[in-house]
Structure 1
């Protein structure tokens, strides 16, 4: 299993939930769901309405995604949802999408869009429910018989979501390796390993949030964040001395806060030569990743 599996799962859940909210007609961008998940507000972004809570289903959905019982979500579905006799003639992907269609026709909430990863898992198209594959199409709810173009558009959007999720996993693993190299390159890494591990799980940070989570002063957290910026692991997405917000480098370009590099993609540096000292550093960093995962789980943020 990848060392960043837990961190990617949480990020993918924010991405999938953003897509489900958009299908509910809520005007929200993916970056705003990441901002909510990290407990920070980005200056200049629209303020969310307070008369409704668009995230009221997120925690229960996240628990279901991590549950070991593969039948829990399906058993909670309305009994009217089933597979007609002709379903066996169709590909497994269409059968999974049709279950989401049936659910959306009788349930006007966000739950049908959040249920698509479970339908894909139940059709053995994935071994676990992948949260980045939540979604669907408004045509599934509004039309009694969606047209072929609706199905084609839905399949293509699902393909895009899967490709994006895979690319983000690749970028997160690369950030993880870059973090290891940065820690090794520091003469006195101090709390830098803890911060870089935190940024994998919690990609949006502020001096106050780092101080709270890592148990240090706000001034010390600010200096630590600036060190991470100097190593290329974080990007500051605000241009003010107060209410500063930092974003993990792998997401800064995607969300438009850093310019993409021109020309050929930068080749990754070759692996460092194996040695006992390096192995101990890598093991220590893996333990930092696990410790941050436990920390965020205790505080209800993972």
Structure 2
């Protein structure tokens, strides 16, 4: 148990330190919220996989995946949670959590990680909704384990709700799963940052990059795309969007996950491998090319890419707010 606590705490600390200075923090936050919400839905016994949340978040039904039930809105709490994650008021979420109880005060003699899970456990015993599982990132933040809520760390174990007194195995499972989630989040942050660097290299290598900059910036926030979606987002014809996506495939920035001529769908290579659409590469990871030599043109490309990322982030946030209202 001590080893599991130390390992999970170390992984959370590393993720917290990295995300605070990452140039892709906003894009990671959006993807991490899909991952965390998927885990919370699974604890509610919903028949959903993580890829289904990415599909929902990107607004694209993946071919071959079963459609979600229309009689029950599994995502009804997502916008509320997403808004709370971005709220700088640390008291915002605490109004949803039960008041401090004697057994919760007794937990203060334990490590902070155990205290965070104890908050989730007590909340889950009095609230049968998804909210207790979504509250773990806020508990970790409140106890100083992270500077801000890390949405991919939502979760817990079903025993917190079903058992009056969870056993050591239940606590160990909760801590181990949290550590695994933090390590997976770090790996995905690595992939996202490398994707940004690869995108900049691909743009710099193009004689006329055109809309590639906007597409690569969009892929940071929406890794699952189709020609029809790109056509709407970037204001071009479907044929033009298809050609643009082919250029991204040739630059190893996308892989096609459908085998058909119409309604094609594309996913970033890291997630395509993780979700089983392509075979994971074996052996040592491919070495990264050396950094490009600094030039004025390259600096302008970096600036243009970051500006496009910020613009798309604002655009997607606006779409989310309109959908919520």
Say whether the fold is shared (TM-score over 0.5).
Answer: yes
The CA distance in 2 between the partners of 1:162 and 1:232, in whole Å, is 27
Pick from 160, 184, 195 the counterpart of residue 164 of structure 1: 184
SS in 2 for 1:27: coil
The CA distance in 1 between the partners of 2:196 and 2:153, in whole Å, is 23
The CA distance in 2 between the partners of 1:82 and 1:212, in whole Å, is 55
Q: How does 1:3-18 map to 2 (within 5 A)?
A: 3-18=23-38
C-alpha distance 275-16 of structure 1, shift in aligned 2 (>3 A) = same
The CA distance in 2 between the partners of 1:288 and 1:260, in whole Å, is 30
> How far is 1:242 from its partner?
1.3
C-alpha distance 272-83 of structure 1, shift in aligned 2 (>3 A) = farther
Look up the match of 1:238: 258
> How far is 1:279 from its partner?
1.0
Q: In the alignment, does 2:173 pair up with 1:153?
A: yes
Q: In the alignment, does 2:200 pair up with 1:180?
A: yes
TM-score, structure 1 normalization? 0.97
Look up the match of 2:138: 118
Given that residues 36 and 152 in structure 2 are in contact (C-alpha distance below 8 angstroms), is that contact kept between their aligned partners in structure 1?
yes
Pick from 96, 104, 123 the counterpart of residue 76 of structure 1: 96
> How far is 1:225 from its partner?
0.6
The CA distance in 1 between the partners of 2:177 and 2:313, in whole Å, is 31
Pick from 49, 52, 55 the counterpart of residue 69 of structure 2: 49
C-alpha distance 219-120 of structure 1, shift in aligned 2 (>3 A) = same
If each structure's helix is expressed as a fraction of its own residues, which one has the higher value?
A: 2
> How far is 1:87 from its partner?
2.1
**CA deviation digits over 1:37-64, x for unaligned, max 9?**
1111011101111100000000000000
The CA distance in 1 between the partners of 2:103 and 2:165, in whole Å, is 16
The CA distance in 1 between the partners of 2:100 and 2:284, in whole Å, is 53
Q: CA RMSD in A?
A: 1.4
Q: In the alignment, does 2:283 pair up with 1:263?
A: yes
Look up the match of 2:85: 65
**CA deviation digits over 1:33-92, x for unaligned, max 9?**
100011110111011111000000000000000001011101232336566442232000
**CA deviation digits over 1:234-272, x for unaligned, max 9?**
111111111211111221111111222222111111111
Q: In the alignment, does 2:266 pair up with 1:251?
A: no
Given that residues 139 and 150 in structure 1 are in contact (C-alpha distance below 8 angstroms), is that contact kept between their aligned partners in structure 2?
yes
Unaligned runs of 5+ in 2: 1-20
Look up the match of 1:40: 60
Look up the match of 1:22: 42
Provide runs of 4+ in structure 1 moved above 3 Å.
80-85
TM-score, structure 2 normalization? 0.90
The CA distance in 2 between the partners of 1:122 and 1:300, in whole Å, is 27
Q: How does 1:255-294 map to 2 (within 5 A)?
A: 255-294=275-314
Q: In the alignment, does 2:316 pair up with 1:296?
A: yes
Given that residues 14 and 34 in structure 1 are in contact (C-alpha distance below 8 angstroms), is that contact kept between their aligned partners in structure 2?
yes
> How far is 1:5 from its partner?
0.7
Given that residues 40 and 204 in structure 1 are in contact (C-alpha distance below 8 angstroms), is that contact kept between their aligned partners in structure 2?
yes
The CA distance in 2 between the partners of 1:25 and 1:270, in whole Å, is 46
**Pairs aligned (count):** 302
Unaligned runs of 5+ in 1: none
The CA distance in 1 between the partners of 2:317 and 2:85, in whole Å, is 15
